[in-house]
Amino acid sequence: MPLYLVATPIGNLEDITLRALRVLKEVALIACEDTRHTRKLLDHFGIQKPTISYHEHNEQARAQELTARLLTGDSIALVTDAGTPGISDPAYRVVVSAIEQGIQVIPIPGATALIAGLIASGLPTDAFLFAGFLPAKRQARREKLESLRSVRETLVFYEAPHRIKETLLEAETILGNRQASLARELTKFYEQFLRGRLSEICAELQTQEPRGEITLVIAGAREEEALPLPVAESLALQLERLIQSGISRNDALKQIAKMRGLSKKEAYRLLLEEKDNAENW
C-alpha cells in the first residue's frame, strides 16, 4: 500500500485540501510529528484514525517500522505539525526507505510557508533558493550567509523569532543592504509582512518583539554584490540606523558587537578606526 505525504495547514485550517481530508480518512495509520497536535486537526474534521509519532528524534528507527507496516499492506499518511512533510520537517528517511522497498510514495500537495512567503514578497519568483533554517550558532550562520552571497536567485529562509534581529543584521553586513520581505504568522490571524531594505526591516523590529514562525525572503545578488564586502565598512552606518530606530548608542554598539562576535571594546575600536580612515581620505 502507498505512503502518502500529506500537507496540512500552516495556520488557517481552511487551507487543507479535499484530497488531503479524503486520504486521512482512508488510510490505516497516520504518522505525525506530534500526535497531540495532529489530533486537534483530526478532531476538527471528525477523522478517527490511529496515529503514531514520527519526528526527528525517532526518525531512523520509526522509518523502518513504518516501511515494514507498508509492506504488510497498511496504507500510511505522513503529516507534520504544519505544512508539507520533508520541507524543514521529518520525512526524508521514510521516503527513501519506502522507495528502496518498491513502495509507492504519493505526495498530497498543500500549504508550505516558503512558497506563501515568496509569492507575496514582491521579489522575483522565477528562480529561488530555499536554504531552510540558518544555523543557530553565530559563526556557522555567518559562514552560511557568506556561501550564499553570490547566489543570483531570490533567497528564502526560515528563522526563529528570537534570532531574527541578529540574522537581519548579519545578512545586511554579509549580503549587503538588499531588498527583503519578512513574513510572520502566515495565514494566521496576526499575519504580518514587513517589506523593504534589510536595514529598514531591522529598524522596524527594534520597536517590537517578533513572535511565531518567520519566513525571510531576500533578493538575490547583483553582479557588484558578488565582490568582497569589508565587514568594518558598514559598521558606522549600521550603528546610525540602529540609533535612528530608537535605541541608545550604547545598546546599538552592544548589539553590533554581539552580531560580529566582538567585544564591545573591540567594536568601538573598529568604529574609531573607520572614522579616522574616513577623515584621512
3-class SS of residue 266: helix
Question: Per mean pLDDT, which range of 90-104, 108-122, 215-229 is the poorest?
Answer: 215-229
Site of grid cell 486537526: 41
Reduced to 3 states (helix: H, G, I; strand: E, B; else coil), residue 120 is: coil
Looking at 93-248, which runs of residues are DSSP E strands?
Answer: 105-108, 128-133, 154-159, 179-184, 192-197, 214-218
Shared domain for 135 and 189, answered yes or no, is yes
Name residue, grid cell 522575483: 124
- Looking at the fold, whether 153 and 80 belong to one and the same domain comes out as no
**Which residues does 147 contact at the CB level (< 8 Å), separation at least 6?**
none
Pairing assessment for the beta strands 29-32 and 76-79 based on DSSP bridges: parallel
**pLDDT tens string 24-71:** 999 999 999 999 999 999 999 999 999 999 999 999 999 999 999 999
- pLDDT tens, position by position, 259-270: 676 788 888 888
Query: What's the CATH code of the domain at 75?
Result: 3.40.1010.10
Same domain assignment for residues 107 and 118: no
Question: Is residue 281 domain-resident?
Answer: no
260 or 213, which is more confident?
Answer: 213
Tell me the CATH number at 185. Answer: 3.30.950.10
Residues 189 and 139 in one domain: yes
Q: Would you state the pLDDT for residue 279?
A: 63
**Residue 34 lies in domain:** 3-111
